[in-house]
């Protein structure tokens, strides 16, 4: 599974971007919010990635912010919402407003989003209202989880892509970082592969 990409932007549009990494061009579907965060063609981009595999397709969805990716993945847990609709939802409303609407049960706001009808809006509120406390960047002041650094966030994202729940993934990364502090400190903590392997060993 691809969890993160860093490379040169070859082309971009409000709903997709092509990023070259190691001589390979990866096309990713993106939201309008991510599009506005991306810089010009030819400039390096860093994207958190959700990989969606079907029998007939291998689809990549890119996000400038990890919080947006997590919200996207939460939307996928709702019956009737697939990845294409989820990315459309994130293009149709600011992520912070979306979280606020879900938490407050604001069906009127949700049904204004393209592709979201009354029944789907009700399901989104019912199933996600109490499951957004871990949304980094979208939680009330003082309640947001502490960031462990960009490498740690990437490893957590990778573990979640493998199917581990966020609490287990974060605990595993915290254990890995504790080991890194004992083994060599900041240099090891900046090594994605080392932290990922240590976290994988801890999460089992």
In a domain, 138, yes or no: no
Q: What's the domain range around 21?
A: 4-63
Residue 27 near residue 185 (C-beta atoms within 8 A): no
- Pick the closest to residue 81 from 49, 28, 124 (CA basis): 124
Residue 64 sits at the vertex; the CA angle it makes with 60 and 66, to the nearest 5 degrees, is: 90
Secondary structure of residue 161 in the 3-state scheme: helix
Instruction: Please write the tens of the pLDDT for every residue from 184-199.
Output: 554 555 567 777 778 8
Residue 142 lies in a domain: no
What phi and psi values does residue 26 have, to the nearest 5 degrees?
-105, 125
| 14 assigned to some structural domain | yes
- Give the distance from CA 109 to its chain's centroid: 23
* Burial tier of 42 (Cβ tally within 10 Å: 0-12, 13-18, 19+): exposed
Q: What is the pLDDT of residue 183?
A: 62
pLDDT score of 82: 94
Going from the C-alpha of 12 to that of each of 18, 115, 152, 165, 178, the distances in angstroms are 6, 24, 28, 32, 39
Q: What percent of the chain has pLDDT over 90?
A: 44
Q: For the segment 115-167, what is each residue's pLDDT rounded down to a tens digit?
A: 899 999 999 999 998 888 766 455 433 333 444 566 777 777 777 777 778 77
Can you give the pLDDT at residue 143? 37
Q: Write down the pLDDT at residue 107.
A: 93
Q: What is the DSSP string of 171-203?
A: HHHHHHHHHHHHHTTHHHHT-HHHHHHHHHHHH
CATH code, 34: 2.40.50.140
Q: Is the pLDDT of residue 180 over 80?
A: no
Tell me, yes or no, whether 56 and 98 share the same domain.
no
* Domain count within the chain: 3
pLDDT in tens, 23-41: 999 999 999 889 988 989 9
For tokens 């990713």, what's the residue?
28
At residue 182, φ and ψ (nearest 5 deg) are -75, -35
Q: Report if residue 141 sits inside a domain.
A: no
């Amino acid at each position: 599974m691809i969890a993160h990409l860093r490379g040169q932007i070859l082309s971009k549009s409000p709903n997709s971007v092509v990023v070259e990494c190691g001589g390979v061009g990866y096309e990713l579907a993106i939201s309008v919010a991510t599009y506005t965060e991306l810089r010009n063609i030819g400039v390096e981009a860093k994207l958190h990635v959700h990989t969606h595999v079907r029998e007939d397709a291998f689809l990549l969805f890119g996000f400038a912010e990890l919080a947006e990716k997590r919200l996207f993945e939460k939307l996928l847990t709702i019956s009737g919402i697939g990845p294409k609709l989820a990315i459309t939802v994130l293009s149709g409303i600011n992520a912070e407003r979306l979280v606020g609407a879900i938490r407050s049960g604001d069906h009127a706001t949700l049904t204004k989003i393209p592709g979201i009808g009354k029944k789907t809006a009700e399901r989104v509120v019912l199933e996600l209202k109490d499951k957004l406390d871990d949304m980094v960047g979208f939680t009330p002041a003082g309640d947001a989880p502490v960031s462990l650094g960009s490498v740690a966030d990437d490893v957590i994202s990778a573990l979640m892509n493998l199917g581990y729940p966020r609490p287990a993934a974060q605990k595993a990364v915290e254990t890995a970082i504790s080991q890194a502090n004992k083994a060599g400190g900041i240099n090891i903590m900046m090594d994605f592969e080392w932290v990922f392997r240590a976290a994988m060993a801890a999460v089992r």
